[in-house]
Amino acid sequence: MLDDIDFANARVYAIPMTTRFRGITVREGVLFEGPAGWAEFCPFDDYDDQVSASWLATAVEQCTIGWPTAVRDKIPINCTVPAVGPERAHEIARTSGCATAKIKVADHPDSLAEDLARVEAVRDALGANGHVRVDANGVWDVETAVKHIALLDKAAGGLEYVEQPCKTIEELAEVRRQVNPLIAADESIRRADDPMRVAVAGAADVAVIKCTPLGGVRRAMRIAEAAGLPCAVSSALETSVGLGAQLALAGALPHLDFACGLGTLSLLKGDTVGVEASLRPVEGSLPVPTAPLAVDLEAWESVRHTDPERTTWWLDRLDRVRSVLATTPELLTR
């Protein structure tokens, strides 16, 4: 499968972000083409080559064999509200067209007052019938999680769920016993030594599945089945080329009970496909692509990485991770 891909013409991109998110202000990655179309490789800088091999496996699946047959053609989307002030949070939610918002909280140790104001603003923007969820990215301990969730739940007039309030499965289970909102597991699944075997059913009510770091659409579907929980699919901050795989997963899952976190192009100031093909939500939903999206040359030129050192860094990284993947063929979907 690796031999079928045109790695020699891989293209490195750099896209400024609208707001600092996950500690970065520029999103970078690599695009390359295979017999089934284009794919994207974009693990974050702090991921080592072994972890990044699953990200490359997703790209290999996409550009060599494509995706499974979809069972739905449209996916409901939540808007993503980063750690911004309440006025900006209100604007993001109000103009998104989405009925659900996922709000970043716990951005720093003293963020509670800011988090409450942000949640209140988003609830006001969505109205009483909207769904509000928050994501703490596993930074709280149990005591802090229980306290903050109660306050955030009140500010939201009821949270749909809280994503990864604590780091470990044991902590999630303890929090789940003490709070009213549903608990969703994200990092506990995708960062597990063996995501196929991680037991989250007693620790969470919802499984957040991201196919890009899990090794592809088909592997993510097996992980979702093994989790045994209702699922929401979420982005890994890809451009439209990589985001297509996440939508393919959401389209192919037998059951999809929650709006998905796939409206993240709003965080990027550019894209790698043309404007008409760009996967930006319309009226709160996105279409499920039937094939990988093609890179648009004009769009590509506008986001081409102009730093030679970073370009070389990414291409060298791609070569290293290819070598890792070649020695772990179990990650490659066939």
The binding site for Mg(2+) consists of 135, 163, 186
SS (H, E, C) the chain: CHHHCEEEEEEEEEEEEEEEECCEEEEEEEEEEECCEEEEECCCCCCCHHHHHHHHHHHHHHHHCCCCCCCCCEEEEEEEECCCCHHHHHHHHHHCCCCEEEEECCCCCCCHHHHHHHHHHHHHHHCCCCEEEEECCCCCCHHHHHHHHHHHHHHHCCCCEEECCCCCHHHHHHHHHHCCCEEEECHHHHCCCCCCCCCCCCCCCEEEECHHHHCCHHHHHHHHHHHCCCEEEECCCCCHHHHHHHHHHHHHCCCCCCCEECCHHHHECCCCCCCCCCCCCECCEEECCCCCCCCCHHHHHHHECCCHHHHHHHHHHHHHHHHHHHCCHHHCCC
Is 93 in contact with 81 (CB distance < 8 Å)? yes
| Bind-site residues | 135, 163, 186
Residue 326 has a CB neighbour count (10 Å cut-off) of: 13
Residue 241 has a CB neighbour count (10 Å cut-off) of: 29
Catalytically active residues are: 104, 210
Alpha-carbon 83 to chain mean position: 16
Is 4 in contact with 31 (CB distance < 8 Å)? no
